[in-house]
Chain A
Amino acid sequence: MPAGAGYALEEFARRHGDFAIVGIAAIVVRDGQRCTLARLATAGAGPVPVRLRAAEEILEREGLGEAAIEAAARRATELVDPDADIHASADYRRHLAGVLTKRALTRAIGVARG
């Protein structure tokens, strides 16, 4: 983990402590509002954890303002290909991926130094 990086893991489960329906991990290294490094990975939004590279690139290109975060979250929903099960449909998991990306990034940015 780079020095000064902010990180966050946002999970959503029906019940406290259960395996997440969707989880998003975010790492951010900032320089003011500039983003020198962004990492986003999913859990539960597909058969294996996935790096959301295209969403990361948005942040590294456009910075850490609200619009960029929204854009990254939207891109995340396009990048995931979730399965459905009795707990959640694919569409809802996709929706959650966006929600949790935004929340994870917001928290990670808040913690990051620089």
Chain B
Amino acid sequence: MVTVRLKVNGVAHEGRCEPRKLLVDFIREDLGLTGTHVGCEHGICGACTILFNGEAARSCIMLAVQADGAELATVEGLMRDGKLHPLQEAFREHHGLQCGFCTPGMLMTALDFLRTNPSPSDREIREGISAVLCRCTGYQGIVNAVRAAAPILASGR
């Protein structure tokens, strides 16, 4: 067993787990944060995407021990004072989700993407979210949501 100390959404956590435990399982089971989802366990679908030291990372192909000393952001940390993050609001307004399973991964990916490309074209948005698979929306509502959210996030509102 190993000890993992990390920060998640600004809160310090400590847990003990086997070295082989996946980071996504650690987040879901040991930390009780079930918003991050497991879709494939082989790094393709993106449902498990979190921010690892500020950058999007697939937590299903990382081990929990790799997160020792790291700062993670998960979907649970997006709300502020009980209000939806502007990106979440945009997803709601533009029907950017249906079953919701890819949504946490999509949100974290979009967040990282908009940080690096605050004023993207539609083509760039599609490339930016291409790492997360969605079977419900055909991506249209998601692209519309990210396009709408971009200027709001860029202005820091």
Residues on A lying within 8 angstroms of B by beta carbon are 16-17
Contacts and interface: CB of A to CB of B under 8 A. Distances in A.
A17 B128 CA distance: 10
Contacts of A17: 130-131
4 contacts: A16-B127, A16-B130, A17-B130, A17-B131
A64 to B, nearest CB: 31
Contacts of A16: 127, 130
Interface in B86-118: none
Contacts of B130: 16-17
Nearest to A17: B130
A62 B130 CA distance: 42
Nearest to A15: B130
Contacts of B131: 17
Interface string B126-155: 010011000000000000000000000000
A16 B127 CA distance: 8
A107 B130 CA distance: 25
B122 to A, nearest CB: 14
A16 B130 CA distance: 7
Nearest to B44: A18
Nearest to B131: A17
B106 to A, nearest CB: 15
A19 to B, nearest CB: 11
Nearest to B130: A16
B135 to A, nearest CB: 14
B124 to A, nearest CB: 12
A16 B133 CA distance: 12
A17 B132 CA distance: 11
Q: List the 4 closest pairs (A to B, CB-CB), nearest first.
A: A16-B130, A17-B130, A17-B131, A16-B127
A16 B123 CA distance: 12
Nearest to A18: B44
Contacts of B127: 16
